[in-house]
């Protein structure tokens, strides 16, 4: 504790220093118009640090010195639920798709008149959400899966263009603000140059560097990276109201938050396409990576009327720039074996830079596509890379052939296990039938341990490969009998690392049912279908016993996935694996059923615009009462709810003889007043 009283002039000096530093941060990071040199700025910061060191009680969480303090490294990132989901955007890849989107928006709003649309650059960075309470930055998180992100508060505090306290006189009591963390192109080059000089791993592109820098357990590492941020959206807000995107962006800027630049208000398609062309032309000259534009309905009341789909808003769309392509040569063609036994031809290329990434391999998809395109070893080819999509060979350039190029034939035996390879009727892929094939087992274990499945941290490809090679593992069931002593001595595996792996495996024994179903690697069963199956059946035993007809009845599963699920649980080898997992201590939990509501087993569909609530609110009410909501009309639909300006669903419902109700009847039904 401090033994002396703090002089009033010292308190005033601290207040003055913080005010000056925050002002110069704003000039430098927000306005890009500094008034002092870096050396002068450093002197102000050092003066503040010295006073806070001498008088610790003056230190506050929003002090500029706390961005890069002695913050201890984190052990993990805590989950942070988003009050308002951080949705993905639908994509448009050409003008026709943009025109169709605009028409859907107008139809949804019941108008033929042009509406105000805001266009913004689509940043290629890492999406985050910051929370300010009474103007003070209190929490920051990543987008995560849209519903729940990771707590990266301390790392975000390292970004100097993020104000610790909002400025101005109209500060909301509570503000959730969304933005994109990014690295400028030139800074990215400098960062990679430094990595190379130190003999460290190079970053693939600015987006990956930004995301990786933000998810460092030690905030000091984040602080050493040249990160910036732009804000462009909000979540929940209290004691403040915005009527439009333009108004909201102006308000955020007035609060001291750096907002997205090059924003333009458009009133028709011509203006949108003009903006798109201008930005595309300037793309290579921009200081940061931009991979398209985002088009949004400007007015927030219109957005509410339009609502959202499951994963994306109806009031916004991303109009992507064309994928970046380059020409290179195929050196050889390899065949990779996936976890389900599918053989995929992969072109090994002369390395080429595409969109800021060095590409040395590209998928050829399957045998049919390779033959149709007449792709040969030695060919010069056009390779495309778009965003996170695996690079692909678009086409060969026959005019550049010399006669030395060779056609490639898919192998008759598996390149991994030398087992039988067959091409199942109706499928384009060749498949290895050996369930014990090392390549399949390796990728199956990797999938089982992945983050969305059992989330066994530290169990990467190299370790799995070693464990299989030494026959310590034969399948995922063997993970739960692993001993620390079996790991020690493997490459990069000392006592502490081995102990961490064993602890991670132990922690994975108690995962939700949906994640266990996904982890099993059943063909055509992704995370969403696994969630549907868990909700529908409640236990793994009920799923094991499900009839094929019962599986096929589930709308979101589909006949193909139903057959693979049924086949999986009727294969003796898979049932033995489940027994092995149980014996190893894996808990197959019971998925608690939502109590049956009065709408239990009733399926609803909507058409037109509701006046009393948004579509999302209506869906929520139905689900809360035990009902289901379908996006399309079918014989299984019990009620079609019709709002104003209904679409083609109404005609289809009438043809099928379905029950059609208006909004008033719907409200009576959910409020218990229906006759």
- Residues recognised as catalytic: 122
Closest CA to 206 of 188, 223, 194: 188
- 237, two tokens: 């807000």
Contact in structure between 344 and 335 (CB atoms under 8 Å): yes
| In the block, residue with structure tokens 């460290």 | 200
- Residue showing tokens 């002039």: 9
In this structure, are residues 237 and 175 in contact, taking their beta carbons and an 8 Å threshold?
A: yes
Q: How far apart are CA 72 and CA 218, in angstroms?
A: 7
How far is the C-alpha of 178 from the C-alpha of 86, rounded, in Å?
9
Distances (CA, A) of 561 to 66, 184, 432, 556: 52, 44, 20, 10
- CB atoms near residue 55 (< 10 Å): 16
Q: Which residues contact 527 (CB under 8 A, 6 or more apart)?
A: 452, 514, 518
* Bridge partner list, 349: 330
Residue 494 and residue 256: Cα distance in Å, rounded? 48
Contact 282, 101 (CB under 8 A): no
Extract the tokens encoding 116.
């105000």
Burial degree of 577 (CB within 10 A; 0-12, 13-18, 19+): middle
Question: What is the b/e burial string over 493-518, where b = at least 16 CB atoms within 10 angstroms of the residue's CB?
Answer: beeebbeebbebbeebeebebbbbbb
């Amino acid at each position: 504790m401090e033994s002396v009283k703090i002089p009033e002039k010292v308190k005033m000096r601290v207040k003055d220093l913080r005010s000056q530093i925050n002002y110069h941060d704003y000039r430098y990071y927000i306005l890009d118009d500094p008034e002092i040199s870096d050396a002068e700025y450093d002197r102000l910061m050092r003066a503040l640090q010295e006073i806070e060191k001498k008088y610790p009680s003056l230190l506050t969480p929003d002090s500029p010195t706390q961005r890069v303090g002695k913050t201890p490294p984190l052990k993990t990132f805590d989950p942070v639920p988003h009050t308002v989901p951080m949705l993905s955007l639908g994509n448009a890849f050409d003008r026709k798709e943009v025109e169709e989107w605009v028409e859907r928006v107008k139809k949804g709003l019941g108008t033929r008149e042009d509406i105000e649309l805001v266009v913004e650059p689509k940043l290629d960075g890492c999406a985050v959400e910051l929370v300010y309470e009474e103007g003070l930055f209190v929490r920051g998180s990543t987008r995560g899966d849209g519903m729940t992100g990771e707590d990266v508060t301390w790392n975000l505090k390292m970004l100097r263009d993020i104000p610790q306290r909002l400025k101005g006189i109209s500060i909301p009591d509570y503000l959730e603000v969304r933005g994109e963390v990014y690295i400028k192109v030139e800074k990215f080059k400098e960062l990679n140059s430094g990595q190379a000089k130190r003999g460290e791993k190079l970053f693939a592109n600015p987006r990956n560097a930004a995301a990786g820098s933000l998810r460092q357990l030690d905030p000091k590492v984040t602080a050493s990276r040249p990160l910036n941020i732009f804000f462009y959206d909000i979540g929940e807000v209290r004691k403040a109201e915005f009527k439009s995107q333009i108004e909201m962006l102006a308000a955020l800027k007035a609060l001291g938050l750096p907002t997205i630049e090059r924003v333009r208000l458009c009133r028709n398609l011509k203006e949108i396409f003009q903006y798109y062309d201008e930005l595309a032309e300037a793309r290579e000259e921009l200081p940061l990576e931009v991979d398209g534009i985002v088009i949004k309905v400007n007015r927030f009341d219109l957005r509410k009327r339009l609502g959202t789909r499951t994963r994306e808003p109806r009031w916004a769309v991303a109009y992507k720039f064309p994928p970046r392509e380059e020409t290179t040569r195929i050196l050889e063609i390899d065949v990779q074996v996936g976890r389900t036994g599918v053989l995929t031809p992969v072109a090994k290329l002369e390395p080429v830079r595409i969109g800021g990434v060095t590409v040395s391999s590209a998928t050829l998809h399957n045998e049919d596509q390779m033959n149709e395109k007449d792709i040969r070893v030695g060919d010069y080819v056009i390779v495309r890379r778009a965003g996170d999509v695996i690079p692909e060979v678009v086409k060969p350039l026959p005019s550049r052939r010399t006669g030395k190029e060779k056609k490639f034939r898919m192998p008759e035996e598996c390149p991994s296990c030398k087992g039988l390879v067959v091409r199942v009727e109706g499928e384009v892929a060749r498949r290895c039938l050996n369930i014990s094939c090392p390549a399949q087992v390796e990728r199956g274990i990797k999938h089982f341990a992945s983050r969305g499945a059992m989330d066994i941290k530290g169990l990467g490809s190299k370790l799995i490969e070693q464990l299989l090679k030494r026959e310590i593992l034969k399948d995922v069931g063997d993970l739960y009998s692993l001993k620390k002593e079996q790991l020690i001595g493997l490459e990069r595996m000392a006592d502490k690392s081995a102990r961490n792996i064993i602890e991670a495996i132990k922690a994975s024994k108690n995962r939700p049912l949906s994640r266990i179903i996904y982890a099993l690697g059943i063909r055509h069963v992704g995370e969403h279908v696994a969630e549907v199956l868990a909700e529908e059946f409640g236990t793994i035993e009920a799923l094991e016993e499900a009839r094929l007809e019962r599986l096929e009845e589930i709308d979101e599963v589909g006949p193909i996935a139903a057959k693979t699920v049924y086949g999986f649980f009727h294969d003796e080898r898979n049932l033995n694996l489940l027994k092995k997992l149980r014996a190893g201590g894996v808990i197959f939990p019971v998925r608690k059923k939502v109590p049956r509501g009065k709408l239990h087993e009733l399926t609803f569909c909507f058409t037109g615009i509701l006046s009393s609530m948004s579509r999302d609110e209506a869906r929520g009410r139905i689900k809360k009462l035990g009902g289901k909501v379908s996006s399309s009309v079918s014989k299984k639909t019990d009620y079609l709810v019709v709002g104003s300006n209904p679409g083609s669903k109404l005609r289809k419902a009438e043809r099928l003889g379905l029950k059609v109700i208006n909004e008033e009847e719907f409200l009576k039904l959910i409020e218990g007043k229906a006759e």
